[in-house]
Amino acid sequence: MLVASNRGPVSYEVREDGSLHTKRGGGGLVSGLSAIGSDADSLWVCSALSDGDREAVRRGEGEPGVRMLDIPADVHADAYNGIANSVLWFVHHMLYQTPLEPVFDAEFRRQWASYETYNRAFAQALAESAAPGAAVVVQDYHLTLVPGLLRELRPDLRIGHFSHTPWAPPEYFRMLPDDIAEQVLRGMLGADRLGFLTRRWADAFTACAEQVVGGIGDTRIGVHGLGADADFLRERSHRADVEERISALRAEIGEGRRAIVRVDRTELSKNIVRGLLAYRQLLDDRPEWRERVVHVAFAYPSRQDLAVYRDYMAEVRRVAEEINSVYGTPGWTPVLLHLKDDFARSLAAYRLADVALVNPIRDGMNLVAKEVPVVSDEGCVLVLSREAGAFEELGEEAIAVNPYDVVGTASALHEALSVPPEERAERTKRLAAAATALPPAQWFLDQLNALRS
C-alpha cells in the first residue's frame, strides 16, 4: 500500500551536532493519516519541504516507510505556492476577490507546467516503488494529475484519490481555463475511486465532471467523513506538558472568566478576522460580558511564502490589538492572541474552552470542531459555520452560524455563553460521539477496502 501527499508525516531538522531530529508534520491531512501507522508493506511518498528534509534525502537517512522526493525548489514553489495554494485552494474555498482575480495569464501557464512536472515526479516515484497490483492512495489538490499519469505507467495498480478540501460548485470551478479544468478532472478520474469528506463535496465534483468532461465514467466515488482520534487525543491531552499549559492559560485568562477558544492555521478560509469582529460586536451588544470573558485565539503561521497570508496574519494581529486597546482594562485583556504553533497549548485550550468558535468561510471538514468536544473537561458549546464539512455531522448539536454574518456570529457567541452547564455537558457528549464515529484508522481502512474490492 502506498500513500502520496505533498506534506509527509514527518519533517527533519538538522541539529547543531549535525544529527537529524524528526518532527511530526502538521495539518488535517497528516493528523488523519498518521493514525494508520507504518508497517513493512507500506510506503508514504511525499515532498522534501525543509532544508532538513533535503539533507535527509541527501544522506539517505530518515524514517522507514517514508520516501521524500527532492523536487527542484523552483518547480516545487511554482506547483505548491503558485498552483496548489494560490489557484486550486482558492477555487475550492471560493476565496477569490473576483473583480480583480483570478487572472490566468502566461505566468499562470508557466506555473502550470511546473505543476505537471511535480505531479509527474510523484507518478514516477510511485510507479517505481509499487509492487504488482498494489493499492495507491493519492492525497489532495496538490496531486490531482497523479492518478491519470500513474494509470498510464502502471495499469495494474489500484489507484485512489482523496480530497481533504471542499470541492467548488461548477460555476466557480469553471473559472479555470477550460483545458486546465479538463486536465484536473481527467487526472483525478484516472483513479479507480475518489474519496471526499462529505456528500456535498462529492456531489460538486460529480456536477463539475458532468459539465466539463461528460461525467465520471467508470470511476467510483465515496464519502468518508474523517473523525477525531479519541484515544490519541485523550491520552495526549492529559500529559504533563498540557497540564502545565492549562495552569499558564488559566492565569492569563483570569479567575472566574469564560473562554471563547479558537485554534487555526492562520488561513484565509478560517475566517479569523470576522471571528474577532464578532467578538468585538459581542462586547458592544452585550456589555455585561466585558471583564467576564476572554477570546483565546491561536492563529498559527501557515503558507507564509504567500503575501496574502502574511497580510492576513498582520490583519489578525491588528484587529486583536485594536480590540485590546479599545476595550481592555488594567485587569482584563479581552483577546489573548498566540501566533506560535504549540500543540500542547492547543490541547490545553481545548480542555478549558467554554465556547469553541469554528467559523470558516468554507472548510473540507475542520477537525478542531471534532477534537474540542472529545477532550473538553467540563463541556464546551460549539459555534460552528454551516460551511464547514463537519457541520453535516455536528450541526444538530452546535450553534450554527453564517460565517459572513458578524452580528449573527456575535449573537451566537452570546447564546453559547448562556447555555446552562448541564445542557452544555450533555451536548458535548453527543458532539463527541458524532465526532469520533469514524476514527482515522477506520476511515483509512474503509477507503482501502473499498478500493481493493
Q: How far is C-alpha 10 from the chain's CA centre?
A: 16
Beta carbon nearer to ligand G6P, 1 or 46: 46
Beta strand extents in 183-278 (DSSP E only): 193-196, 220-223, 258-265
Cβ(426)–Cβ(17) below 8 Å: no
- Select the residue whose beta carbon is closest to ligand G6P and give its number: 27
Q: What's the closest the beta carbon of residue 27 comes to ligand G6P, in angstroms?
A: 3
Q: How far apart are CA 342 and CA 309, in angstroms?
A: 19
Q: Decide: helix, strand or coil at residue 152.
A: helix
The answer to whether residue 297 forms part of the interface with ligand G6P (CB under 6 A) is no
Task: Answer for the pair 12, 51: CB distance below 8 angstroms, yes or no.
Answer: no
Euclidean distance between CA atoms 133 and 453, whole angstroms: 12
Per CB under 6 A, which region of 21-29, 224-232, 293-301, 406-414 contacts ligand G6P? 21-29
Stretch that binds ligand G6P, among 26-34, 187-195, 244-252, 327-335 (CB under 6 A): 26-34
Nearest to 336 by CA among 312, 313, 316: 316
Long-range contacts of 242-251 (CB under 8 A, 24+ apart): 242/344, 242/347, 242/348, 242/351, 243/348, 244/344, 245/342, 245/344, 245/345, 245/347, 245/348, 246/348, 246/351, 246/352, 248/348, 249/296, 249/336, 249/345, 249/348, 249/349, 249/352, 250/352
Residues 115/78, Cβ–Cβ less than 8 Å: yes
We find the least distance from the C-beta atom of residue 364 to ligand G6P, in angstroms, to be 6
String of contacts with ligand G6P for each residue 110-149, x by CB under 6 A: ------------------------------x---------
Q: Does 11 bind ligand G6P (CB under 6 A)?
A: no
Cell of residue 242, nine digits: 498540557
93 near ligand G6P, judged by CB under 6 A: no
Task: Give the number of residues in contact with ligand G6P, rule: CB under 6 A.
Answer: 9
Contact call for residue 270 and ligand G6P (CB under 6 A): no
Neighbouring C-beta atoms of residue 73, cutoff 10 Å = 10
Q: Does 81 engage in binding with ligand G6P (CB under 6 A)? A: no
In angstroms, give the least distance from the CB of 380 to ligand G6P.
Answer: 23
CA neighbor of 343 nearest in space, from 95, 31, 55: 31
Asked if 165 interacts with ligand G6P (CB under 6 A), we say: yes
Task: Pick the piece of the chain touching ligand G6P (CB under 6 A) from 23-31, 59-67, 70-78, 431-439.
Answer: 23-31
Of residues 164 and 370, the one with the C-beta less far from ligand G6P: 164
Please tell me whether residue 302 binds ligand G6P under the rule CB under 6 A.
yes
In whole angstroms, give the CA distance from residue 251 to residue 47: 41
Decide if residue 27 touches ligand G6P (CB under 6 A): yes
Q: Does 225 bind ligand G6P (CB under 6 A)?
A: no
Please report whether residue 164 would count as binding ligand G6P according to CB under 6 A. yes
Task: Pick from 1, 2, 3, 7 the residue near ligand G6P by CB under 6 A.
Answer: 7
- Site track 333-372 with ligand G6P (rule: CB under 6 A), x = hit: ----------------------------------------
DSSP symbol at 388: B
- From 27-35, 144-152, 154-162, 291-299, give the range in contact with ligand G6P by CB under 6 A: 27-35
Rounded to a whole number of angstroms, the minimum distance from the CB of residue 18 to ligand G6P is: 27
CA atoms of 447 and 401, how far apart (whole Å): 31
Single out the segment in contact with ligand G6P by CB under 6 A; choices: 22-30, 172-180, 240-248, 336-344: 22-30
Q: List contacts with ligand G6P (CB under 6 A).
A: 7, 27-29, 140, 164-165, 302-303
